[in-house]
Amino acid sequence: MPSLKIASWNINSVRARIDIVQRFLEEEQPDILCLQETKVKDDTFPPAMFRKLGYDHHVLNGQPMHHGVAIISKLPLHDHGRHDWQDNGEARHIGVRLDCGIRLENVYVPAGGDVPDRTVNPKFGQKLDFIERMTRWSETLAEPTLIVGDFNIAPLECDVWSHKQLLDVVSHTPIEVEALGRLQASHDWVDLGRHFYPAPQRLHTWWSYRATDWTANDRGRRLDHMWASPEVAKMATAHKVCEPCRSWIKPSDHVPLITEFAV
């Protein structure tokens, strides 16, 4: 049965980190790479390296200096679409349909600022509203779908280095976890990370730049996710977090995820 290998990575500027993107593609050879936080306009996205490696299909949704998402593929991509779940024009989503019939959605959820209170921090309210709009979309979803990206929420106690110390820190607060739970329930999404690495196994995808040595205290969080419709989840054969990428030269603070499917 043919296999399909899909990767997702918040790259924190694709132009600044083009060398490690190339290394990742050469080492892992995914069929499709979904990038978040590309930080580049569509007309200045750097295509040459991708095409050199056989990734000829590019679907972009970018803006200058901030946010931005892209799907880079060796395989044809159809029915491109965008959702403005932020409701302010920011480039945070791109979606395509694959020849195998799977809909692939790539999303970058807002971080939400520093204070977990929408009355004093509008960014936190925008994040919750973003997830609520995703939930309304998800409730009506009929297609077999894989949604990937930086969700900026670590939902489980074991998804962070210290549940107790992060309870009031944006990305792990109860209100965010509850909102993400409603989104997951709205389509019976299967969290592929925890499908392959059941709780309470350690599973982190992000480490702050503030730590000189990110490995010393391992203060990670699982902010990046791959969720599948139940029928798509049945096709998943393997999943991994590419943690060594965090130690590469000039790294992103996030690391890539890869899921393989038998399609």
1 has a pLDDT exceeding 70: no
Q: Where along the chain do its domains lie?
A: 3-262
227 has a pLDDT exceeding 80: yes
User: What residue has token string 């949604």?
Assistant: 147
Q: What is the pLDDT of residues 76-122, one digit of tens each?
A: 999 999 999 989 999 999 999 999 999 999 999 999 999 999 999 99
User: What residue has token string 């921090």?
Assistant: 121
Q: Tell me the C-alpha to C-alpha distance, in Å, between residue 137 and each of 2, 119, 130, 143, 161.
A: 30, 26, 11, 12, 32
Neighbour count for residue 66 (Cβ, 10 Å): 13
| The residue count for the chain | 263
DSSP state of 250: S
CB 36 within 8 A of CB 29: no
Regarding pTM above 0.95, the answer is yes
Q: What CATH code would you report for 3-262?
A: 3.60.10.10
What's the CA gap between 62 and 43, in Å, rounded?
9
Q: What is the pLDDT of residues 175-224, one digit of tens each?
A: 999 999 999 999 999 999 999 999 999 999 999 999 889 999 999 999 99
Neighbour count for residue 87 (Cβ, 10 Å): 11
